[in-house]
Structure 1
Amino acid sequence: MNLLSINHISMSYHSLKGETKALKDITFQVEDGEFLSILGPSGCGKSTLLNILCGILEPSKGEILFKGNDIHKNLNKIGYMFQKDHLFEWDTVWDNVTLGLRIKNSMTNENKDRVEHLLNEYGLIKFKTHYPKELSGGMRQRVALIRTLALNPEVLFLDEPFSALDFQTRLNVCDDVHSIIKKEKKTAIMVTHDISEAISLSNRIIVLTKRPASIKSDTTITFANNDKTPLERRSEKEFKIYFDTLWKELDSR
């Protein structure tokens, strides 16, 4: 069974000026363990689709199923990582990563041990009493991801999670995030406008058309050595082939 089934999703916004169609009859499935990226022209509705997939927005038509059941009955299985880290500057790293657990009143010894393990595993244990302003951009993003993982979701939704970082930091954080998601055996769906980022991180890429967005292409990404890091993938011969193909798909002129 697919982890996620997206069936005939359409979305329209209504105002006094009339109807604006954002998404049109989008259908695809996501398997357990996939890293799927969604690309599309600016303003085509990528983030709208992501917000529908995770239950934040209600579509005009269609349904989202998690293991065959309504997504709204499985919201506890979902983690969401925003464009900005949204860390509380007045809280320590520990308080930030345990925020969700404290809100859900789930600060059990088992969950606290899990968070300690995540901080230790990904090089942040020495900074658990530090404040966000004392961390680099890359470290802040790792804290944001661990905060999401602390609730042990099965699927992660990533909304352009590296867009606020400078290019060099972005490359390093892509490696970090990919490694963490792979080690923790999570399914990930990422919205991005960066073709290189999508190719280097994903094993599958969906390209959307201009608004109202529908699926233009669905491409499986494979390399001769799939164990390479995202940064290493950028130097592989397959990378340029995928880039040229996806660039043509996105070219709306």
Structure 2
Amino acid sequence: MSLLKILNISMNYHSIKGETQALENINFEVEEGDFVSILGPSGCGKSTLLNIISGLIEPSGGHALYKGEDIEKNLDKIGYMFQKDHLFEWYTVWENVILGLKIKKQLNNKSEERANELLDTYGLTKFKEHYPSELSGGMRQRVALIRTLALNPEILFLDEPFSALDYQSRLLVCDDVYKIIKKEKKTAIMVTHDIGEAISTSKKVIVLSKRPGRVKVEIPINFAVSNLTPFEKRKNPQFSGYFNRLWKELN
């Protein structure tokens, strides 16, 4: 059984001017351990789809199933990373990391120990008492990811998590986040408008059409050399072939 199954998802928005169809008949599956990117033109409904899959908004039609059950019954299995890190500036790194645990009343010796281990593993222990304003953009994103991982979700949803960073930082943080997700053995679905980002991180890229968004094509990404980092994949000869194919699909 697939970890996540998207069945006939459609989304319509209603206003005084009439009805707008954002998504139409979206179907795909995600296996455990996959890293899947959703790519498409601006305004095609990528973020809307991610919000539906994660249970944040209800679709006009269709279902998102997690291990065969409605996604809304499994919201505790989900972690979400937004475009911005949403760290509270008046909280220290540690206070930000354990915030979700406190809200969900899961803060105990075991969860504190895991949070400390995550900070230590990913090089942030010495910054525990620092405030977000004292961190680089990349470090802030690591803190945001660790805050999400502290809740021990089984699947991560990432909505353009690197878009607020400059190009050089994007490349470095993309490597960082990818390695952390793989090391923690999490399944991930990422929305991005960056072709290179999708190729370098993903096992599969789902391309949506213009609005109303439909699944235009699913492209598996398989590099002949295994265990490459996203940055190393960008330098691999296969990268340009995938890039050209995805560019044509988007145009």
| Fold in common (TM above 0.5) | yes
* SS in structure 2 of the partner of residue 141 of structure 1: helix
Q: Following TM superposition, where does structure 1 have runs of at least 4 consecutive aligned residues deviating by more than 2 angstroms?
A: none
Q: Which residue does the alignment assign to 1:244?
A: 244
| Cα distance in 1 between the residues matched to 2:93 and 2:138 | 14
Q: Which residue does the alignment assign to 1:105?
A: 105
* SS in structure 1 of the partner of residue 181 of structure 2: helix
**Consecutive unaligned residues in structure 1, runs of 5 or more:** none
Where do residues 194-205 of structure 1 align in structure 2 (5 Å cutoff)? 194-205=194-205
Q: Which residue does the alignment assign to 1:177?
A: 177
Q: Which residue does the alignment assign to 2:83?
A: 83
Where do residues 1-253 of structure 1 align in structure 2 (5 Å cutoff)? 1-251=1-251
| Cα distance in 1 between the residues matched to 2:105 and 2:56 | 22
| Cα distance in 2 between the residues matched to 1:222 and 1:56 | 32
Alpha-carbon distance, 1:104 to partner: 1.0
* SS in structure 1 of the partner of residue 206 of structure 2: strand
For residue 224 of structure 1, what is the amino acid of its counterpart?
A: A
Residues 156-187 of structure 1 deviation map (CA, whole Å, 9 limit, x = unaligned): 00000000000111100001000000000000
What do you get for the CA RMSD once the two structures are aligned?
0.5
Residues 127-172 of structure 1 deviation map (CA, whole Å, 9 limit, x = unaligned): 0010001101100000000000010000000000000000111100
For residue 102 of structure 2, what is the amino acid of its counterpart?
A: R
| Cα distance in 1 between the residues matched to 2:220 and 2:120 | 34
| Cα distance in 2 between the residues matched to 1:213 and 1:106 | 38
For residue 60 of structure 2, what is the amino acid of its counterpart?
A: S
Alpha-carbon distance, 1:221 to partner: 0.2
Taking only the aligned residue pairs, the percentage that are identical comes to 68
Alpha-carbon distance, 1:226 to partner: 2.3
Residues 31-64 of structure 1 deviation map (CA, whole Å, 9 limit, x = unaligned): 0000000000000100000000000110000001
| TM-score, structure 1 as length reference | 0.99
| Cα distance in 2 between the residues matched to 1:175 and 1:123 | 14
Residues 69-109 of structure 1 deviation map (CA, whole Å, 9 limit, x = unaligned): 01000000000000000100000000001010000111111
* SS in structure 2 of the partner of residue 161 of structure 1: coil
Alpha-carbon distance, 1:225 to partner: 1.3
| Cα distance in 2 between the residues matched to 1:199 and 1:167 | 16
